[in-house]
Amino acid sequence: MLKSRAKRALMAACLLPGTAWAASPPPNDGGLTLLNRVTWGATESSAARLHAMGPQRWLDWQLHPTPADVLPPEAQAQIDALPISHQSMTDLVAAMVDRSKAANALVDPAEKQAAQQARQQALNDVARQTAARDILRWLDGDDIMSDEEVQTQ
């Protein structure tokens, strides 16, 4: 019964005039919290760009890059040539799960081991493609860390 009274009292307090419920204001850290949340970490160049553009314009720019912000055609062509560029993550995961189930369903130990090795090779290939794509995107970015920034990480 006490719990029920406490709930009613809390609900009544929320309805009182002048009761304000607001989110805490964003930290005043020059946008470092925003950069650390939506990027791989703040760098001097990303902080300078955020400061110059303001948080809302910077976030809009991140979500809707301009044609000038796209990758050079050579880098984009390399990314487009990767098989992972033509398959959704959902389909990729489903295919890997199916391969795993098929390998585990095999009775013959040699066949099972071969199927598991093939599945692992496919996973390694996806990892290599992902790394290549990320490096191509990173190399063209404005946020390449300087030697000093790398040493302080």
Residue 119 maps to a domain? yes
> How much is the pTM?
0.55
What pLDDT, on the 0 to 100 scale, is given for residue 149? 46
Residues of the chain with pLDDT under 50: 1-2, 19, 21, 144-147, 149-151, 153
Nearest Cα neighbor of 44 from 63, 30, 26 is 30
| Alpha-carbon distances, residue 127 vs 84, 86, 138, 151 (angstroms) | 10, 15, 16, 26
Name the domain count of the chain. 2
Q: Which of 40, 69, 98 is where one domain is finished?
A: 69
**Domain range for residue 98?**
70-141
Query: Is the residue at 116 inside a domain?
Result: yes
Say if residue 84 is in the same domain as residue 114. yes
At residue 141, the pLDDT reads 62
Residue 14: inside a domain? no
On whether both 46 and 86 belong to a single domain, the answer is no
Return the pLDDT at 41. Answer: 82
pLDDT of residue 44: 87
| 85 and 133 housed in the same domain | yes
